[in-house]
Structure 1
Amino acid sequence: MHRMVKLLIAGLMLCIGQTAQAAIISQFIEAETRQELRAYRLIKSIEPQLQQLFLALPMQQDLTLVYGAQDGPLFAPELMQIQIPYHFVTEVLSRFTKDEYQKTGVTPKTATQDAILHTLGHEYGHAYIYANEVIVLGREEDAVDTLATLLLINAFEDGAEIALSAADLFALEDEDIDELVEDDFSDEHSLDAQRYHATVCLIYGSDPDKYASLLAGSEQDAEQATERGAMCEQEYARQNDNWERLKSRYLAK
């Protein structure tokens, strides 16, 4: 028996210029278990933030967010859907809880919400590239990781802190790997450790004074940390400039 689908129109119309509009539609599959219900409530509690996230880089084409999907997280271009399973949310929450993430000053629940925002930014990046036929030289997965971090930083006052929780999730996932195999190197995604360092680099570059400890606490010596810091500042400046070009180039006419 198919589960009942609850359609919730988020009420978000992304206005681009004076003539074009794109709707972001939230679609929730009915939760059947206690864990799914918890995931549903966790997502619903940040829905206003989800709307704010997409406003930072509006798109011309309508997009549906399907929560409670069987597969994912993923972007389905043929459907113009971002699909997020409830089990993904519960697995992330369990991972942060097991790691006692509250010791960082951020609760596992908040860290999970942060990771959801970054994940949606990542999949939205795929949707944006597809809808606008954006040329990407290199790995698209790396490009949308960068885009997700920039989305957070530009959409929220504490966006870098949100991205930091997502980076820590990459680090936790890397800890689960006992040994790398050939398939890890041929995967479409970069290694979790690489995704962690790339995200942290952008966070540091966005505010070197505030996030100095992200590099100072590494095992690198002082000279290497200084070189790494300078490179991250340059990388953030370059990518933020690309962000501004992206918005202006693909703005609806």
Structure 2
Amino acid sequence: MPIGADGAGRACPAPSVTIRDVAGTALCCAIILGSTGPTGAGARGLRHPDRQATRVVYDAPKDQAYREIYAIMRERRVLERVATAFSLFKLSRRLTYRLTACSGEPNAWYDPRIHTITTCYELIDSIRNVAPAETSPAGVSRDEAIRGPVLQILFHESSHAIFHLLRVPILGREEDAADQVAALVLLHLGPADARTVVNGSGYFFASLGKREPLDRGAFADAHGLSWQRFYNLACLAYGSDRRRYGYIVEKGFLPTERATACEEEYGQVADAFQALLVPHLRAPPRQGQALRRAFAKPPGARPRR
């Protein structure tokens, strides 16, 4: 199944322990948007989250056009699940997740002054508008095209918050680092969930890329171009497991020139996650060891140059 506007994906390389296997970590269950309540399999796996570390706020929209989004997000406890995941980090301040109307602006951001991640109804509505009415020729369903980017955005903004609250040093653009952390976590989900996120996120990036003006403003933006974000996600997926994601190269979604270094790129991100983020987890030592194994570089990864 292809990636992106014609899109696909799956989970991590063959380590014996994945995030889903680590009791007490919610980094995977936060992704199960399809679950309709806190009693699903993902929720049962949660242990010892610090409920004081995060809080969620759903602002009821005045615009009737957003009422369905409000109802679905609350029913599926989307913000609660993502908040539970990141409450596993030893946060220095309480982190708030807010869903609200933004005066017509489709956006999402982390505000370090008030330690709040804001997601706009307008952004989710725009994602719904871009999603195909029916499954795309490449096999990307409407559900994937909505859930994937919503989750990618929430994890991307959560990464900004983690960088700030944990004072994580960053070499390079913070937007790129946030994309990398989000991708690494999302690629370690169970097969179906990872596929949903990679399919949907790829579709969204490619859809934006087709309409993105290549002017000075786009090149000067702190974010990478949409097509760059598409290829970066594809590369990390391929680098995490060449056999599972081989179709990304075989079908021409990722140039072979880039693909040759993707294992190394994945290894760099995995190394950084282990060194800079895993030590900040609240998980007991044995769980921390399991996380380190889960984020290990793929077998046969090329040495650094």
TM-score by length of 1: 0.80
Identity of aligned residues (%): 24
Question: Retained in 1: the 8 A contact 2:99–2:119?
Answer: yes
**How many angstroms does 1:21 deviate by?**
6.4
**Distance of 2:137 and 2:77 partners within structure 1:** 26
Structure 1 residue 37 corresponds to structure 2 residue 67: yes
**How many angstroms does 1:184 deviate by?**
0.9
Q: Which runs of 5+ in 1 are unaligned?
A: 1-9
**How many angstroms does 1:118 deviate by?**
0.6
**Distance of 1:165 and 1:40 partners within structure 2:** 20
CA displacement, residues 90-112 of structure 1 (integer Å, 9 cap, x when unaligned): 110110136x5544434323321
Counterpart of 1:3 in structure 2 is none
Question: Retained in 2: the 8 A contact 1:57–1:247?
Answer: no
Q: Secondary structure at the match of 1:97?
A: coil
Q: Which residue, 78, 81, 84 being the options, matches 1:51?
A: 81
- Report the aligned-residue RMSD: 2.9
Counterpart of 2:100 in structure 1 is 68
Instruction: Report the CA distance shift for 1:49/1:211 in structure 2 as closer, same or farther (over 3 A).
Output: farther
TM-score by length of 2: 0.68
CA displacement, residues 129-178 of structure 1 (integer Å, 9 cap, x when unaligned): 0001111111000000011111212354445321331122111001012x
**Distance of 2:169 and 2:214 partners within structure 1:** 31
Counterpart of 1:114 in structure 2 is 148
CA displacement, residues 181-212 of structure 1 (integer Å, 9 cap, x when unaligned): 11111101011110110011111112211211
Written as runs of structure 1 = structure 2, the 5 A alignment for 1:122-133 is 122-133=156-167
**How many angstroms does 1:216 deviate by?**
1.5
Instruction: Report the CA distance shift for 1:47/1:110 in structure 2 as closer, same or farther (over 3 A).
Output: farther
**Distance of 1:68 and 1:218 partners within structure 2:** 39
Instruction: Report the CA distance shift for 1:245/1:56 in structure 2 as closer, same or farther (over 3 A).
Output: farther
CA displacement, residues 205-243 of structure 1 (integer Å, 9 cap, x when unaligned): 1221121111122278xxx62x53331122112211221
Q: Secondary structure at the match of 2:131?
A: helix
Counterpart of 1:237 in structure 2 is 267
Q: Which runs of 5+ in 2 are unaligned?
A: 1-37, 284-305
**How many angstroms does 1:79 deviate by?**
1.0
Q: Which residue, 106, 122, 126 being the options, matches 1:87?
A: 122
Structure showing greater relative contact order (alpha-carbon pairs closer than 8 Å, 6 or more residues apart):
2
Counterpart of 2:188 in structure 1 is 154
Question: Retained in 2: the 8 A contact 1:53–1:155?
Answer: no
Q: Which residue, 189, 206, 231 being the options, matches 2:240?
A: 206
Instruction: Report the CA distance shift for 1:54/1:209 in structure 2 as closer, same or farther (over 3 A).
Output: farther
Structure 1 residue 163 corresponds to structure 2 residue 205: no
Q: Tell me which protein shows more helix as a share of its residues.
A: 1
**How many angstroms does 1:49 deviate by?**
8.2
Question: Retained in 2: the 8 A contact 1:118–1:148?
Answer: yes
Letter in 2 for 1:181: D
The worse-fitting range, judged by mean Cα deviation, of 21-30 and 49-58 is 49-58
Instruction: Report the CA distance shift for 1:45/1:199 in structure 2 as closer, same or farther (over 3 A).
Output: farther
